[in-house]
Structure 1
């Protein structure tokens, strides 16, 4: 075990030495969420907030990891009973984005997976899985003095429902603002 830790530490150290920089920041914004699949739903507006770490590997490419609290879900419509019910799902989300700078140090395009862990379910409309996987694509604009804006769309890849006979996936459009320290 010691040997593995030493090797990992050495690799991380040499990797960090080759990197041009490590930027830490915070971000928050709006979620425009909905479900796709076997249910008739309307979208809801909610929020996300958390921390950002960007590892700059070369001037035109970096990797960005985030730790976010993200509120998602939809409004479920039961047309037979003429009722609507909000389904609010709260996640701790960990997106890992590959960032390609179109305009160096200014405008980047990003893509990568997002791993989300359910922490709260306001309405128990259906049995919800505790893990959600999605793929994100988006763009970031570094405005001035560490301030940035992002737009991202996360497409659900895994079924949110524990019932395998029903296919329900999270889809979320996010608008964020943030600050790199």
Structure 2
């Protein structure tokens, strides 16, 4: 009986794999990123920062209209943060290695819909200063800072989007990634960098184009 079940399972698996369609390619596009940043002590306002994403995708489809897509992407994120109490506007550039896993629906017309989760690993984080008001002649000087020590190493995001795929395999998509985890590390009240409890959540709107290298 066990042997019969094993043979049946192997047969079903071979049928699935025989009908599976694999597509491998590269994709790139525009990121419009922001950070939902709050602190109980300072009044702040954030605005979007433009960057880009670039990487590869692997699509695995076992039925006509449905499949899964995994990606490996460089993703530039961050935001501009206006610290109104000090008259300081900063540009915060966060660079991630992103690993999205998505379920993807593909209509016969070529339109697609997708949703999934992404694990983003922090590569670097820099803060530069675009505007400093109220410190002229005071000897106060700010230079670029490394923010990586103050941020968590991994961010999780929920992704959803829509797109269109041509018969040639060339694809276009719009996607929104909403941060699920606080990327600010908790600091002790005695830490000199402590400015109250902080919360920071990434969000990214992406416009991308995909180029197939293998499969159709």
- The alignment status of 1:60 with 2:65, answered yes or no, reads yes
- The alignment status of 1:148 with 2:171, answered yes or no, reads yes
Instruction: Find the aligned partners of 1:43 and 1:15 in 2 and give their Cα distance.
Output: 48
Q: Which residue of 2 aligns with 1:42?
A: 47
Seen in structure 2, the aligned counterparts of structure 1 residues 144 and 35 have a Cα distance that, compared at 3 Å, is same
Q: Which residue of 2 aligns with 1:5?
A: none
Decide which structure has the larger Cα Rg and report it: 2
Instruction: Find the aligned partners of 1:29 and 1:112 in 2 and give their Cα distance.
Output: 19
Runs of 5+ in structure 1 lacking a partner? 1-9
CA deviations 1:98-154 (Å, max 9, x no partner) are 0012x2271110000010000111223571110000000001211241211011000
| Structure 1 position 81, deviation (Å) | 1.3
User: Which stretch of structure 1 is more off in the superposition, 131-140 or 119-128?
Assistant: 119-128
TM-score normalised by the chain length of structure 2: 0.73
TM-score normalised by the chain length of structure 1: 0.86
Q: Which residue of 2 aligns with 1:7?
A: none
Asked if the contact 2:37/2:46 (under 8 Å) is kept, the reply is no
User: Which stretch of structure 1 is more off in the superposition, 120-129 or 157-166?
Assistant: 120-129
Instruction: Find the aligned partners of 1:70 and 1:57 in 2 and give their Cα distance.
Output: 29
Seen in structure 2, the aligned counterparts of structure 1 residues 111 and 80 have a Cα distance that, compared at 3 Å, is same
What is the SS of the residue equivalent to 1:80?
A: coil
Asked if the contact 1:59/1:105 (under 8 Å) is kept, the reply is no
CA RMSD across the alignment:
1.9
Instruction: Find the aligned partners of 1:117 and 1:148 in 2 and give their Cα distance.
Output: 26
Corresponding residue to 1:110 among 98, 108, 114: 114
| Structure 1 position 163, deviation (Å) | 2.1
Seen in structure 2, the aligned counterparts of structure 1 residues 25 and 15 have a Cα distance that, compared at 3 Å, is farther
Structure (1 or 2) with the greater strand fraction: 1
Q: Which residue of 2 aligns with 1:174?
A: 206
Runs of 5+ in structure 2 lacking a partner? 1-9, 39-43, 128-145, 188-196
User: Which stretch of structure 1 is more off in the superposition, 161-170 or 91-100?
Assistant: 161-170
| Structure 1 position 75, deviation (Å) | 0.5
Asked if the contact 1:133/1:158 (under 8 Å) is kept, the reply is yes
Corresponding residue to 1:160 among 171, 175, 183: 183
How many positions carry a matched residue from both structures?
169
Q: Which residue of 1 aligns with 2:22?
A: 22
